[in-house]
Amino acid sequence: MAYDVIVIGSGPGGYVCAIKCAQLGLKTAIVEKRATLGGTCLNIGCIPSKAMLHASEMFHEAETSLEKLGVKVGKPKLDIKAMLAHKDATVKSNVDGVAFLMKKNKVDWLTGTGKVLGEGKVSVTGEDGKEQEIEAKNVVIATGSDVAGIPGVDVDFDEKVIVSSTGALELSKVPGHLVVVGGGVIGLELGSVWKRLGAEVTVVEYLDKVLGPMDGDVSKQFQRLLEKQGIKFNLGAKVTGVKKSGKGAEVTFEPVKGGDAETISADFVLVSTGRKPYTDSLGLEDAGVKLDDRGRVDINDHWQTSVSGIYALGDVVKGPMLAHKAEDEGMAVAEIIAGQHGHVNFDVIPSVVYTDPEVASVGKTEEELKAAGIEYTVGKFPFSANGRARAMLAPDGFIKILADKKTDRVLGVHMLGRGVGEMIHEAAVLMEFGGSSEDLARTCHAHPTMSEAVREAALAAAFGKPIHM
């Protein structure tokens, strides 16, 4: 059977691309080696981790905050089996939803491992080893990414004691001590889950800050808040060994700047040092599809690879490894294949860390603006001065807006606080339309809301002063 488009990989980028292709009238098939659609994000990443984050936050709130609000429930008890069952049910409802969307949009789902054979040809190998060759006018590589491990260190992931994010979502008991290697988004999200449920958590990070690319102000205060919650940090530390020891494991690290090595013991070790593009077993070299110097599929500005009719998107290509970035690319690629003008504004891709408090960011950081020699103004407002935040016992954090000093155009917005992942989007919309801090400052915001802090930060950026400080 011949198709207009075959998409290899059913993560957010792949399945969105397939749906959009079908909506544009293209005969489309999607290839997925898992038994369920949705890729890493829906099966073992974004979705299950958010289910665990929410559940652990509710447990912690019952344990620490409800009595302050006059709600007496006694000491909460943890039912880890029920919590994991909630996570699994959440995953199932999401992957079943994607399967329904495939059926609704008449996208053929081909189960097996996809391989690019060259221009217009793909093979799909099932679990039984049978291979079928399929023709397509266009092929889209959307195979995502895989766990990166630790450069120069042999790590034996058994997903029971030494775990990736996959194993960290399946722990059958709360660790006595969890060591997290890597102070990025995944490590801090999952570390905070198990900390709230009662584990001692130690983070070992190579850089001298957490959330490496994030705004420096946000990173510093965020780390302080996590330390206040009881998470310990070893920054500027190079991990040289991770191995099983007795019933647990040991992590050895040394100061990046030089010094004596240190070894700490743990019940479990979570290695979360980033991800790498998944290009194995795709046959790309034989098909003539070039990779860049970081092992990603090399593409031009229209997601076209070195082979005509073969496109690539998402984690397997350049840019931030974010599900929503992949989704935007999926829609853009579908539009290009259909003869339209697909486009993604990479300057307005929000990023969120789903801890409590959350971190949310869009656009440039202060560090990036300084490096580029761009003059800017800063507007900042703390949640401690926001009435709704105080009422919700959520006074930690702040909003920071960066605007061009000459034009007042907003260049970056950075947030730290309760639920800011839902608040970042007014900044994204503003920036998408080239708005200024004064535009935002003069936009009426409902009172009392957490979002008023965004307006106050805009007032500070546009006029030098907020109202409520």
8 A C-beta contact, residue 179 and residue 264: yes
What CA–CA distance (Å, rounded) separates 265 from 163? Answer: 15
Beta strands 121-125 and 237-245: pairing type?
unpaired
- C-alpha distances (whole Å) from 310 to each of 50, 136, 173, 281, 399 are 34, 10, 45, 16, 42
Block residue for tokens 């034989």: 286
Burial 197-206 (b: 16+ CB within 10 A, else e): bebbbbbbbb
Give the SS3 label for residue 45.
coil
Classify residue 224 by burial, with Cβ atoms within 10 Å: 0-12, 13-18, 19+: exposed
- 3-class DSSP state for residue 136? strand
- 425 included as an active-site residue: no
DSSP secondary structure, 338-395, as one string = TTS-----TTS--EEE-SSSEEEEEE--HHHHHHTT--EEEEEEEGGG-HHHHHTT--
Query: Nearest 10 degrees: CA dihedral of 177, 181, 185, 189?
Result: -10
Separation of first and last alpha carbons in the chain? 67
**CB burial of residue 37 (10 Å; 0-12, 13-18, 19+):** buried
Catalytic residue among 302, 343, 447, 468: 447
CB 379 within 8 A of CB 237: no
102 close to 109: Cβ distance less than 8 angstroms: yes
| Residue among 254, 250, 242, 238 nearest 206 (CA) | 238
Helix axes 12-23, 80-104, angle to 10 degrees: 30
Number of Cα atoms under 13 Å in the Cβ half of residue 363: 25
Peptide bond into 151 cis (omega under 30): no
Question: CA of 467: how far to CAs of 122, 421, 458, 463, in Å?
Answer: 61, 24, 11, 10
126 CB neighbour count, 10 Å cutoff = 13
Full strand arrangement of the beta sheet holding 237-245: 237-245, 248-255, 262-266
- State the catalytic residues: 447
